[in-house]
């Protein structure tokens, strides 16, 4: 599968997952890989939707949010 | 058991106790007996606090006997999602892992405030694990079941809250809503749900999920109870750094002020795509009852939902990172896989999502210069079957779980107050409509909900078998 808009295929995603899990010291079982890959692909697709939207440099991120 | 007491609203319960029609012990006893009788089917409760409840009821009866004034919710049984602290119990947050936590040393702020208002805590409620859920299913404690059809989902993550209130096991309940977890079960179970403005109600003493998006709020079968519970819980709490330093702004007093002065519009565009006909039909019914003919466009709603999704995945993952390292195998697999995927997201994407949040909020505040209320579906469909994995949206089969919240996520993303109102459908199943107001205007959303309740368009239907 190719993740739309991220130029990432399944092998790329699995490489990120395996390296990232080592970096974060999360013990990843092989049977979890399909589910994690699916969700990572969704996350990246939705992140792409956000990051392709042009925002001014001086716009403050709303970390501390006042409604 | 006096079943009639189980379906009274809080005002009628308090009035009945004051005039001697029944006692607080009778009301509480009825709630406890109904929980024993029906919760084997509904699976709404994880703990029943019977001893505590009866002691509180006796205290109220004793206060009445000595002529003391009773508080506004005196005798009304309520229960709380099990991510809210109850002194003496471990706060499970729907997880197996949290069973090992020490018991809470004190009640959450909102529990304290509700008991001060006379309400009687009867227990802790089932929920989706760590609130990362829209279904009400739980691999450790079993699925909450919908009182209108036991084979269907309650919605989540406040599944037990929706089921307990719709099933007449409590007068009202507390839930939490990060991306829709009050409004979704309100929609599927056919009850009213209030997600207040971000920062309005204290979250102190609750287990978090996504701090920058988490809200607590009530679910009830009537707008009067929703407002009474909300009013009882308002007020600044220094224990929650996010809780706004605003005075309480009681909504109960203005509930019947009518809607003639309000500009009400229907959300178009994104909020019409992906909705099943029954969801759009419910919005039309509500709009017609309110005389709302204007349609407004919420700018970049799909991106708002996407940004909320990214923030949720990453902030949730950061919260649970240590547990993923030490006990990943003890999570619900559906939650674990999403948390691991969230932990792997680059920080730059998260920062952009927070920048987009600022932009979207400014756009929406501009929109609220033109209208006072926006109507939108709460869920794209009625309650799906328990175990259902996919849904057809606009003719495309998609995963069910994340798509249940497509209409709620863009709204909570910027903390707007919403009342989800239940609309009974000819099929016998209910569905919710979101009544969305500007920040800090819960009073307006509640007034509109009250007008809809009086018109008969919005009501909480009693399940025939309960």
Render pLDDT for A40-60 as a digit per residue (tens, 0 to 9): 999 999 999 999 999 999 999
Picking from B344, B351, B356, the nearest residue to A16 by CB comes out as B344
The pLDDT of residue B443? 98
Is there a contact between B196 and B217 (Cβ–Cβ < 8 Å)? yes
Spell out where B147-303 has E strands. 149-153, 172-177, 192-195, 215-220, 264-267, 294-296
Count of pairs with CB atoms under 8 A, one residue in A, one in B = 128
Between the CA atoms of B224, B459, B393 and B414, what dihedral angle is there, to the nearest 10 degrees?
Answer: -10
| Interchain pair B309, A46: CB under 8 A | yes
Smallest CA–CA separation between A13 and chain B, in Å?
A: 10
| Interchain pair B333, A26: CB under 8 A | no
CB within 8 A of B347, min separation 6: which ones? none
CB within 8 A of B366, min separation 6: which ones? none
Which long-range contacts does B139-142 make (Cβ < 8 Å, 24+ apart)? Answer: B139/B332, B139/B333, B139/B334, B140/B94, B140/B95, B140/B96, B140/B332, B141/B43, B141/B46, B141/B94, B142/B43
Count Cβ neighbours within 10 Å for each residue of B310-336 and write b for 16 or more, e otherwise.
bbbbbbbbebbbebbeebbeebbebbb
| Interchain pair B341, A28: CB under 8 A | no
Contact of A4 with chain B, judged by CB distance below 8 Å, is answered with no
B158 is catalytic: no
Low-confidence ranges of chain B (pLDDT < 50): none
Count Cβ neighbours within 10 Å for each residue of B137-172 and write b for 16 or more, e otherwise.
bbbbbebbbbbbbeebbbbbbbbbbbbbbbbbbbbb
The pLDDT of residue B398? 86
- In angstroms, how far is the first alpha carbon of chain A from the final one? 40
- On the question of pLDDT at A2 being above 60, the answer is no
Is there a contact between B159 and B128 (Cβ–Cβ < 8 Å)? yes
Helix (H, G, I), strand (E, B) or coil at B398: strand
The pLDDT of residue A4? 52
Smallest CA–CA separation between A3 and chain B, in Å?
A: 14
| Interchain pair B356, A46: CB under 8 A | no
pLDDT tens digit sequence for B329-343 = 999 999 999 999 999
Is there a contact between B61 and B25 (Cβ–Cβ < 8 Å)? yes
pTM of the predicted structure, to 2 decimals: 0.97
Using 50, 70 and 90 to split pLDDT, how confident is the model at A15?
A: very high
Using 50, 70 and 90 to split pLDDT, how confident is the model at A1?
A: low
**Closest listed residue to residue B354, CA positions, set A13, A55, A7:** A55
Which of A:7-66 have CB within 8 Å of B? 16-17, 20-21, 24-29, 32, 35-40, 42-44, 46-47, 49-51, 53, 55, 59-63, 65-66
Best residue of B177, B240, B309, B340 to probe chain A, by most A CBs closer than 10 Å: B340
Domain boundaries, chain B: 3-455
Longest dimension (CA), chain B: 65
Under CATH, which architecture does the B3-455 domain have? Alpha-Beta Complex (3.90)
- On the question of pLDDT at A3 being above 90, the answer is no
- On the question of pLDDT at A5 being above 60, the answer is no
B41 is catalytic: no
Q: Which residue of A has its CA nearest to B349?
A: A47
Using 50, 70 and 90 to split pLDDT, how confident is the model at A39?
A: very high
Is there a contact between B238 and B177 (Cβ–Cβ < 8 Å)? no
As given in the structure block, the two tokens for residue B464 are 């025939």
- Taking the alpha carbons of B131, B134, B136, B141 in that order, is the dihedral positive or negative? negative
Is there a contact between B135 and B180 (Cβ–Cβ < 8 Å)? no
The DSSP-derived string for B280-305 is HHHHHHHHHHHT--EEE--TTHHHHH
The pLDDT of residue B213? 97
Residues written for chain A: 67
- Taking the alpha carbons of B34, B36, B40, B44 in that order, is the dihedral positive or negative? positive
Q: Supply φ then ψ for residue B455, to 5 degrees.
A: -75, -15
Picking from A28, A38, A65, the nearest residue to B198 by CB comes out as A65
Q: State the Cα–Cα distance between residues B304 and B323, nearest whole angstrom.
A: 29
- CA-to-CA separations, B179 to B84, B193, B247, in angstroms, rounded: 17, 14, 26
């Amino acid at each position: 599968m190719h993740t739309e808009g991220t130029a990432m295929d399944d092998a790329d995603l699995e490489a990120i997952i395996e390296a990232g899990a080592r970096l974060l010291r999360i013990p990843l079982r092989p049977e979890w890989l399909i589910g994690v890959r699916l969700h990572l692909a969704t996350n990246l697709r939705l992140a792409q939707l956000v990051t392709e939207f042009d925002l001014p440099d001086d716009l403050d991120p709303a970390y501390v949010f006042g409604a | 058991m006096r079943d009639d007491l189980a379906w009274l609203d809080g005002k009628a319960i308090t009035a009945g106790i004051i005039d001697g029609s029944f006692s607080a012990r009778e009301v509480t006893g009825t709630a406890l007996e109904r929980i024993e009788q029906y919760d084997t089917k509904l699976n709404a409760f994880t703990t029943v606090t019977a001893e505590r409840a009866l002691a509180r009821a006796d205290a109220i009866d004793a206060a009445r006997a000595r002529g003391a004034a009773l508080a506004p919710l005196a005798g009304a049984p309520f229960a709380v999602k099990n991510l809210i602290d109850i002194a003496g119990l471990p706060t499970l947050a729907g997880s197996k892992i949290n069973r090992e936590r020490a018991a809470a040393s004190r009640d959450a702020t909102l529990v304290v405030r509700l008991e001060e208002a006379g309400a009687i805590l009867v227990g802790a409620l089932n929920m989706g694990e760590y609130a990362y859920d829209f279904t009400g299913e739980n691999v450790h404690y079993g699925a909450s079941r919908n009182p209108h059809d036991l084979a269907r989902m309650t919605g989540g993550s406040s599944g037990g809250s929706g089921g307990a209130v719709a099933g007449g096991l409590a007068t009202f309940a507390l839930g939490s809503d990060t991306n829709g977890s009050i409004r979704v079960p309100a929609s599927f179970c056919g009850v009213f749900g209030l997600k207040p403005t971000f920062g309005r109600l204290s979250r102190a003493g609750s287990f978090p999920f996504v701090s920058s998006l988490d809200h607590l709020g009530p679910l009830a079968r009537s707008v009067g109870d929703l407002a009474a519970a909300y009013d009882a819980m308002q007020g600044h709490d220094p224990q929650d750094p996010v809780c706004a330093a605003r005075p309480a702004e009681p909504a109960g007093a203005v509930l019947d002020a009518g809607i003639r002065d309000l500009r009400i519009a229907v959300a178009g565009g994104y909020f019409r795509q992906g909705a099943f006909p029954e969801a759009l039909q419910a919005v039309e019914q509500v709009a017609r009852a309110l005389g709302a003919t204007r349609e407004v466009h919420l700018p970049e709603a799909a991106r708002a939902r996407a940004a909320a999704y990214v923030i949720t995945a990453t902030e949730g993952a950061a919260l649970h990172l240590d547990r993923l390292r030490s006990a990943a195998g003890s999570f619900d697999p559906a939650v674990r896989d999403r948390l691991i995927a969230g932990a792997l997201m680059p920080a730059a994407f998260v920062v952009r999502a927070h920048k987009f949040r600022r932009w979207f909020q400014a756009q929406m505040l501009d929109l609220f210069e033109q209208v006072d209320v926006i109507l939108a579906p709460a869920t794209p469909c009625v309650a799906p079957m328990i175990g259902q994995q996919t849904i057809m949206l606009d003719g495309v089969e998609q995963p069910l779980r994340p798509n249940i919240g497509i209409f709620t996520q863009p709204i909570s993303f910027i903390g707007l107050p919403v009342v989800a109102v239940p609309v009974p459908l000819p099929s016998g199943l209910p569905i919710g409509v979101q009544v969305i107001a500007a920040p800090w205007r819960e009073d307006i959303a509640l007034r509109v909900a009250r007008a809809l309740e009086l018109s008969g368009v919005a009501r909480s239907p009693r399940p025939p078998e309960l």
